[in-house]
C-alpha cells in the first residue's frame, strides 16, 4: 500500500510522467489505484486489467532503464468532484534516435479516493498522421 497522497489529479499525473521518464516501477505503481478495477492500454498493445497485469507491463517496459524525455502538450482536463479525465499528447524523445517520434495521444482517468487522487485508467495510442495535402483542383466543382 502506497503512503503517497496526491492532493490533486494533476499531482498524480505529474508523478505518473516523472515515474515514466525515470523508469521507476514503485513510483509508477504508487500513482495507480490499489483496486483491481484498473485498466492500462499501451500504444498498439492489448488491454491490461488489474494490478498484476498493469505492474508486469510497466516492469517489462522499464527493464531497459531510462532513455527517454517526455513533454506533454495539448492537455485538456474534464474535472468532476470525484473523477478527472486528462487528455494529452505525449511527445517522446528517445536517446540515440535522430528524429522525434510522432506524438502519442493519451487519456488518463483519475479517481478521488480516501488515499488521495489515483489513476484508474491510462489509454495511449499513436496520433494519426498528418492528412495528405489535397491536390489543387483544376476547376471548382459545382453541385446543382
Q: For residue 99, give the C-alpha cell.
A: 528524429
- Global pTM reads 0.84
Reported confidence tier of residue 58, pLDDT bands at 50, 70, 90 = very high
**127-144: average pLDDT:** 51
Q: Give the helix/strand (H/E) hosting 24.
A: none
Helix then strand then coil, % of the chain, to nearest 5: 25, 35, 40
What are 121's strand-pairing partners?
39, 109
Q: For residue 29, give the C-alpha cell.
A: 505503481
Q: Evaluate if residue 1 carries a pLDDT over 80.
A: no
Reported confidence tier of residue 117, pLDDT bands at 50, 70, 90 = very high
What does the mean pLDDT of the chain come to? 88
CATH 3.10.450.50 fits 9-126, yes or no: yes
pLDDT at residue 2, as a whole number: 64
Amino acid at each position: 500500500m502506497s503512503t503517497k497522497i496526491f492532493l490533486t489529479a494533476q499531482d498524480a499525473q505529474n508523478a505518473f510522467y516523472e515515474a515514466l521518464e525515470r523508469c521507476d516501477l514503485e513510483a509508477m505503481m504508487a500513482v495507480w489505484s490499489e483496486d483491481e478495477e484498473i485498466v492500462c492500454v499501451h500504444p498498439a498493445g492489448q488491454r491490461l486489467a488489474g494490478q498484476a497485469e498493469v505492474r508486469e507491463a510497466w516492469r517489462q517496459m522499464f527493464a531497459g532503464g531510462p532513455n527517454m524525455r517526455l513533454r506533454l502538450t495539448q492537455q485538456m482536463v474534464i474535472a468532476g468532484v470525484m473523477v478527472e479525465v486528462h487528455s494529452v499528447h505525449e511527445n517522446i524523445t528517445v536517446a540515440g534516435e535522430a528524429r522525434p517520434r510522432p506524438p502519442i495521444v493519451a487519456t488518463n482517468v483519475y479517481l478521488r479516493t480516501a488515499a488521495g487522487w489515483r489513476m484508474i485508467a491510462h489509454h495511449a495510442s499513436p496520433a494519426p498522421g498528418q492528412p495528405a495535402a489535397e491536390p489543387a483542383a483544376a476547376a471548382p466543382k459545382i453541385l446543382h
